Amino acid sequence: MVEELLVSNANERGATFSADGRWIAYQSDESGRNEIYVRPFPDVDAGRWQVSTTGGTQPVWSPDPDRQELFYTDPAPSLVAVPVRGEGATFAYGNPEVLFDGTACVLRPNSRYYDVSPDGKRFLMIKVHSVGEDGAVPEIIVVENWFEELKTLVPVP
Mean residue pLDDT across the chain: 82
Residue 139 placed within a domain: no
Q: Between 137 and 95, where is the model more confident?
A: 95
The rounded distance, in Å, linking the Cα atoms of 48 and 89 is 11
For residues 3 and 49, the model is more confident at: 49
Domain count, the chain: 1
User: Considering the chain, what percentage of its residues have pLDDT values greater than 90?
Assistant: 31
4 part of a folded domain: no
The answer as to whether 73 is a domain residue is yes
Residue 146 lies in a domain: no
Distance of CA 61 to the CA centre of its chain: 7
- Of 11-20, 33-42, 120-129, least confident by mean pLDDT is 120-129
**pLDDT category, 55, cuts 50, 70, 90?**
very high
| pLDDT score of 96 | 93
